[in-house]
């Protein structure tokens, strides 16, 4: 691959050059075939093999013209990562030569041997077949590395028996479910033009960069993505001098190349800046249709790591790589848009648009309150557990920030009082009264809310930085679909001649009165809020094991089955997979904790203590020893002894956890026993780090990791 001249190549030329976008399809496909593809994307037609044959040939020629030799169905198994199995286009001609082939069948359907992906019991290994099927709503793209190019086709992954084995199938189904109900509501409101509603998503991605040479000295970072030990140097993030600070040249160079790589595959990377913690950064793309956004975010994460390596750095996506400074999250900006361009969370400028907005916003309030546990479960991972409830992140309590003016409007509707301050005295009559215009920047005043209305979209902020955004969006869409379904049922069953605006008013009033407890506009990071939330009956679930248990409750199963997003079996298998993943991740962390404690820290600390004792003795021999020296030697020796004991304890509880067969009991053992035992070790190690000389310490410290770039 020739070096990219990102200074000279105009961005508009570069953008999408490696993306088989609708623009490329429009240009290269016969008109009728392109129209078919649009219909499939809109969910009104099924893809036929005849159409696929034409698209495949065009896609192949396009990819080969750009140097591709291989193609892969690119999918998202339940590991939370992406997977690919490469096939070359070659087909031998019998005379020792090959031609480049790619059929419609190969485009629409692949059969990876799926036996080694987590399936939670859905697919016995003897029936290992799984199918990947082209997801037409997300564009194919080219992956390039210095030695070649591969055509990647975003696909959904299902078992031989049709069960979803990935994160994409349920997401697609949830969008369909939401679309169906949202269109019903729109029709009831008198809209005759919109035929489909999709969700739009813009995920803001946070990450850290560390210099490769320090990263390589930290096996904990390499194996788990986070440091299991480490103390902050004299400076942390307290000066708040990193946030939005001038971007260092080395980092700016990395960001430029990152943007270029993302632009090439058609990902609209837009905003970048330094984040709060030292060496922490953020990238935000322009929002897209949710399925494309999910794929794009997976690629963003992967590209951050690839490009960082080219610049002698490592990109960290873990939720909490370092103790004592902020962790990394992902803000999932989410809205609903109709196929004819209406953003349903845009308050609008006339009474009709206002009514629609109020009704859809009320539905979100109700959905978030009723399904708060589900939203909490959607972000329950071992990495995020370090973040949720810690003081820089949203607390583990789900609540909505609405902002003063909007809250006032809803309060007034539910209490039957006069409208917002700006038109005091006037009752809000849905469909008649114009709402006072809402300030667009309300969100900037509250950064502590886990779920904030931000002018024309909602921002779900509890997501962890490393997770796929597919699951939170799947749950959110389904929860909203359920509430909209109930609204549509009501509106459609009105007796003829009844006042529709009155009915809408009534729905909002009843719904909001019942669910306004979820609205909280104050500072979500305070202890008072935790108490207040408890008084309001809002759940505050601090650990992932408890959080995940909602997945197998009967209400949850009913919700997802009603909307045909998950079957009971799929939910049960996912529950099991998530618990297993939780346990496995902590198991690896505990393993590396033990390894480092015993084989690096303990020997270093013992040697150091012995050295101090020798020095003290030598000094004593000449009558020069001070009490402080003896004390230091003693303290190091004591801590080293405690470390040894703590390691023994961790080993015991770890073996117990490993021997547990029930996944739920096992995950709980990792949470309740293994994690605290790791903490016991960390306390000792961190105390030792402060006592040993820098030369004697066997690991690069936080100073190197966080400040040297
Ligand atoms: P902030 O940091 O203030 O939250 P950013 O500009 O960093 O704002 O991120 C806002 C994100 O929200 C962007 O990814 C943007 O594209 C996205 N966004 C804007 N409008 C919508 C919408 N209608 N639907 C979904 N996402 C949206
Ligand atoms: Mg944000």
The two structure tokens encoding residue 27 = 């240009």
Q: Tell me, yes or no, whether 497 and 635 share the same domain.
A: no
Please tell me the distance between residue 390's alpha carbon and the centre of ligand 1 in angstroms: 25
Q: DSSP 3-state assignment of 269? A: strand
Against a cut of 0.85, is the pTM above it? yes
Strand partners, 202: 333
343 CA: nearest ligand 1 atom: 23
The 3-state DSSP composition of the chain as helix, strand, coil percent (nearest 5) reads 50, 15, 35
- Residue 315 predicted with pLDDT over 80: yes
Q: Is 146 exposed, middle or buried (0-12, 13-18, 19+ CB in 10 A)?
A: exposed
Minimum mean pLDDT among 497-501, 634-638, 663-667: which range? Answer: 497-501
Give the ligand at the shortest distance from the Cα of 271: 1
Please tell me the distance between residue 325's alpha carbon and the centre of ligand 2 in angstroms: 19
> What's the pLDDT at 422?
46
Please tell me the distance between residue 491's alpha carbon and the centre of ligand 2 in angstroms: 35
Q: Tell me, yes or no, whether 138 and 215 share the same domain.
A: no
* CATH number of domain containing 214: 3.30.590.10
**Residue 58, domain extent:** 11-166
> What's the pLDDT at 5?
66
Q: Tell me, yes or no, whether 191 and 158 share the same domain.
A: no
- Residue 149 predicted with pLDDT over 70: yes
Give the total number of structural domains in the chain: 3
Look at residue 575 and tell me if it is in a domain.
no
| Cβ neighbours around 416 below 10 Å, total | 10
> What's the pLDDT at 128?
59
Q: Tell me, yes or no, whether 369 and 432 share the same domain.
A: yes
Minimum mean pLDDT among 199-213, 260-274, 550-564: which range? Answer: 260-274
* CATH number of domain containing 595: 1.20.120.1560
Best of 198, 284, 442, 455 to mutate for ligand 1, by most ligand atoms within 8 A of CB? Answer: 284
From residue 344, alpha-carbon distances to 76, 350, 488 in Å are 29, 14, 15
**Across all residues in the chain, what is the average pLDDT?**
91
- Residue 8 predicted with pLDDT over 90: no
Backbone angles phi, psi at 291, to 5 degrees: -70, -40
Best of 283, 287, 328 to mutate for ligand 1, by most ligand atoms within 8 A of CB? Answer: 287
In this structure, the residue with its CA closest to atom 5 of ligand 1 is: 284
Q: Which residues surround ligand 2, an ion (CB under 5 A)?
A: 204, 331
DSSP secondary structure letter of residue 495: P
334 CA: nearest ligand 1 atom: 25
287 CA: nearest ligand 1 atom: 16
Please tell me the distance between residue 483's alpha carbon and the centre of ligand 1 in angstroms: 25
Please tell me the distance between residue 443's alpha carbon and the centre of ligand 2 in angstroms: 8
Closest Cα to residue 311, out of 357, 260, 269?
260
Look at residue 535 and tell me if it is in a domain.
yes
Look at residue 545 and tell me if it is in a domain.
yes
Q: Tell me, yes or no, whether 413 and 325 share the same domain.
A: yes
Look at residue 266 and tell me if it is in a domain.
yes
Q: Tell me, yes or no, whether 458 and 604 share the same domain.
A: no
Strand partners, 158: 131, 164
Instruction: Give me the residue label for tokens 């897209």.
Output: 288
Instruction: Tell me the mean pLDDT in the region 510-518.
Output: 96
Q: Tell me, yes or no, whether 477 and 626 share the same domain.
A: no
The two structure tokens encoding residue 243 = 């946030």
User: What is the C-alpha end-to-end distance of the chain, expressed in Å?
Assistant: 27
| Cβ neighbours around 494 below 10 Å, total | 13
* Cα angle value 688/694/695 (rounded, 5°): 115
| CA–CA separation, 517 and 147 (whole Å) | 57
| CA–CA separation, 7 and 379 (whole Å) | 39
pLDDT bin (cut points 50, 70, 90) of residue 9 is confident
Best of 175, 197, 202 to mutate for ligand 1, by most ligand atoms within 8 A of CB? Answer: 202
Q: Tell me, yes or no, whether 460 and 420 share the same domain.
A: yes
Look at residue 353 and tell me if it is in a domain.
yes
Instruction: Tell me the mean pLDDT in the region 119-129.
Output: 62
From residue 564, alpha-carbon distances to 336, 482, 492, 557, 571 in Å are 20, 11, 22, 10, 12
- Residue 603 predicted with pLDDT over 50: yes
Q: Tell me, yes or no, whether 186 and 151 share the same domain.
A: no
In this structure, the residue with its CA closest to atom 14 of ligand 1 is: 202
Exposed e or buried b per residue across 286-323, where buried means at least 16 C-beta atoms within 10 angstroms of its C-beta = ebbbbbbbbbbbbbbbbbbebbbeebebbbbbbbbbbb
What count of Cα atoms within 13 Å lies in the side-chain half-sphere of residue 556? 25
Q: Are strands 288-289 and 197-211 parallel, antiparallel or unpaired?
A: antiparallel
Look at residue 2 and tell me if it is in a domain.
no
Closest Cα to residue 343, out of 479, 453, 443?
453
| CA–CA separation, 547 and 432 (whole Å) | 43
Best of 204, 294, 345 to mutate for ligand 1, by most ligand atoms within 8 A of CB? Answer: 204
pLDDT in tens, 632-651: 889 999 999 999 999 999 99
What lies within 8 Å, CB to CB, of 23 at 6+ separation is 16
* CATH number of domain containing 60: 3.10.20.70
Give the ligand at the shortest distance from the Cα of 336: 1
Q: Tell me, yes or no, whether 304 and 392 share the same domain.
A: yes
Q: Which protein residues are within 6 Å of ligand 1, measured from CB?
A: 200-202, 204, 271, 284-287, 331, 333-335, 343, 456-457
Q: DSSP 3-state assignment of 60? A: helix
The two structure tokens encoding residue 524 = 């979500």
Best of 333, 345, 472 to mutate for ligand 1, by most ligand atoms within 8 A of CB? Answer: 333
> What's the pLDDT at 393?
62
Exposed e or buried b per residue across 448-462, where buried means at least 16 C-beta atoms within 10 angstroms of its C-beta = bbbbbbbbbbbbbbb
Please tell me the distance between residue 444's alpha carbon and the centre of ligand 2 in angstroms: 9
> What's the pLDDT at 1?
43
Q: Is 600 exposed, middle or buried (0-12, 13-18, 19+ CB in 10 A)?
A: middle
Q: Tell me, yes or no, whether 268 and 321 share the same domain.
A: yes
Please tell me the distance between residue 374's alpha carbon and the centre of ligand 2 in angstroms: 21
Alpha helices by DSSP H, listed for 516-601, are 527-536, 544-548, 554-562, 568-596
* Cα angle value 305/241/450 (rounded, 5°): 65
Would you mind telling me the total number of residues written for the chain in this entry? 709
- Residue 590 predicted with pLDDT over 90: yes
456 CA: nearest ligand 1 atom: 23
Please tell me the distance between residue 286's alpha carbon and the centre of ligand 1 in angstroms: 7
Look at residue 573 and tell me if it is in a domain.
no
Please tell me the distance between residue 525's alpha carbon and the centre of ligand 2 in angstroms: 17
Tell me, rounded to whole angstroms, the distance of Cα 45 from its chain centroid: 31
| CA–CA separation, 156 and 170 (whole Å) | 9
| CA–CA separation, 98 and 117 (whole Å) | 33
Give the ligand at the shortest distance from the Cα of 443: 1
What lies within 8 Å, CB to CB, of 116 at 6+ separation is none
201 CA: nearest ligand 1 atom: 25
pLDDT bin (cut points 50, 70, 90) of residue 392 is low
Domain ends where: 144, 166, 188? Answer: 166
Please tell me the distance between residue 456's alpha carbon and the centre of ligand 1 in angstroms: 9
Q: Tell me, yes or no, whether 547 and 666 share the same domain.
A: no
Of 14 and 624, the structure prediction assigns the larger pLDDT to 14
């Amino acid at each position: 691959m020739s070096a990219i001249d990102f200074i000279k190549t105009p961005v508009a030329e570069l953008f999408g050059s490696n993306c088989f976008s609708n623009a490329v399809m429009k240009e290269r496909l016969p008109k009728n075939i392109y129209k078919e593809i649009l219909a499939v994307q809109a969910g009104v037609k099924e893809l036929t093999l005849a159409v696929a044959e034409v698209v495949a040939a065009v896609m192949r020629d396009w990819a080969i013209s750009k140097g591709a030799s291989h193609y892969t169905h690119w999918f998202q198994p339940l590991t939370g990562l992406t997977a690919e199995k490469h096939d070359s286009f070659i087909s031998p001609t019998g005379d020792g030569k090959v031609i480049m082939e790619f059929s419609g069948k190969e485009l629409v359907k692949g059969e990876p041997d799926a036996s080694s992906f987590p399936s939670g019991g859905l697919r016995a290994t003897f029936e290992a077949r799984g199918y990947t099927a082209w997801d037409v709503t997300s564009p194919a793209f080219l992956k390039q590395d210095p030695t070649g190019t591969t055509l990647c086709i975003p696909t959904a992954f299902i078992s031989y028996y049709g069960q979803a084995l990935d994160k994409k199938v349920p997401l697609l189904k949830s969008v369909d479910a939401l679309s169906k109900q949202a269109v019903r509501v729109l029709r009831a409101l008198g809209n005759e033009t919109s035929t489909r509603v999709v969700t739009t998503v813009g995920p803001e991605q946070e990450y850290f960069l560390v210099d490769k040479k320090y990263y390589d000295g930290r096996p904990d970072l390499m194996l788990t993505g986070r440091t299991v030990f480490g103390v902050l140097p004299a400076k942390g993030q307290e000066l708040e001098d990193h946030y939005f600070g001038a971007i260092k040249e080395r980092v700016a160079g990395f960001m430029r190349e990152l943007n270029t790589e993302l632009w090439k595959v058609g990902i609209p990377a837009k905003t970048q800046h330094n984040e709060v913690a030292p060496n922490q950064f953020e990238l935000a793309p322009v929002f897209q249709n949710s399925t494309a956004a999910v794929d794009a975010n997976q690629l963003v994460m992967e590209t951050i790591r690839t490009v960082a390596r080219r610049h002698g750095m490592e990109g960290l996506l873990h939720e909490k790589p370092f103790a004592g400074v902020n962790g990394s999250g992902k803000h999932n900006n989410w809205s609903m848009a109709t196929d004819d361009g209406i953003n349903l969370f845009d308050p609008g400028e006339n009474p009709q648009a206002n009514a629609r907005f109020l009704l859809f916003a009320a539905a979100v309030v109700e959905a978030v309150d009723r399904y708060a546990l589900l939203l909490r479960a959607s972000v329950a991972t071992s990495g995020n557990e370090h973040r949720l409830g810690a003081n820089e992140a949203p607390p583990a309590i789900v609540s909505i920030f609405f902002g003063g003016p909007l809250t006032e409007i809803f309060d007034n509707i539910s209490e039957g009082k006069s409208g917002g301050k700006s038109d005091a005295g006037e009752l809000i009559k849905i469909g008649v009264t114009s709402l006072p215009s809402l300030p667009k920047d309300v969100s900037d005043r509250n950064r502590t809310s886990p779920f904030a209305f931000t002018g024309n979209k909602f921002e779900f902020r509890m997501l962890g930085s490393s997770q796929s955004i597919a699951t939170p969006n799947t749950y959110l869409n389904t929860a909203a679909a359920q509430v909209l379904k109930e609204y549509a049922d009501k509106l459609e069953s009105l007796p003829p001649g009844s006042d529709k605006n009155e009915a809408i008013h009534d729905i909002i009033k009843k719904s909001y009165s019942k669910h306004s407890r979820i609205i909280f506009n104050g500072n979500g990071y305070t202890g008072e809020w935790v108490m207040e939330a408890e008084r309001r009956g809002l759940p505050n679930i601090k650990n992932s094991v408890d959080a995940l248990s909602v997945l197998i409750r009967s209400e949850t199963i009913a919700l997802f089955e009603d909307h045909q997003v998950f079957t009971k079996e799929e939910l049960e298998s996912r529950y099991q997979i998530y618990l297993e993943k939780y346990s496995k991740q902590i198991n690896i962390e505990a393993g590396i904790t033990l390894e480092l404690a015993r084989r690096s820290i303990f020997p270093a600390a013992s040697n150091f203590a012995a050295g101090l004792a020798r020095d003290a003795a030598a000094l004593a021999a000449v009558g020069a020893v001070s009490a402080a020296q003896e004390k230091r030697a003693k303290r190091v020796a004591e801590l080293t002894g405690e470390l040894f004991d703590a390691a023994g304890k961790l080993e015991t509880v770890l073996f117990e956890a490993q021997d547990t067969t029930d996944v739920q009991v096992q995950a709980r053992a990792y949470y309740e026993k293994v994690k605290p035992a790791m903490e016991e070790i960390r306390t000792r190690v961190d105390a030792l780090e402060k006592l040993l000389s820098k030369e004697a310490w066997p690991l690069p410290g936080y100073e190197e990791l966080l400040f040297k770039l």
